[in-house]
Amino acid sequence: MATESSHRTAFSISEAASRWGISPFTIRRFIYRGLLNTFNVGSRRLITAAELARVEKDGLGKGKASCGS
């Protein structure tokens, strides 16, 4: 049986952070640094499931990210 996230097309910053086990602030740093693309729906900033998969493939998800200066 497929999981709920396999049918989702977009995730909030908080959902992405929870999925990867990192803070929402870290997700925002990824966005600011151009490592993660987002889109807005009203005042909400969302991340597509395809973008999350791309970033996970690149090794930024699951706590593997480095946001050093």
| pLDDT at res. 58 | 79
CA distance 60 to 46: 17
Residues of the chain with pLDDT under 70: 1-6, 60-69
| CA of residue 52 relative to chain centroid, distance | 5
What is 4-58's CATH number, 1.10.1660.10, 3.40.50.11240, 3.40.50.11810, 3.30.479.10?
Answer: 1.10.1660.10
CA distance 27 to 37: 10
| pLDDT at res. 48 | 96
The residue ranges of every structural domain in the chain are 4-58
Record the tokens describing residue 1, joined without a space.
Answer: 């049986």
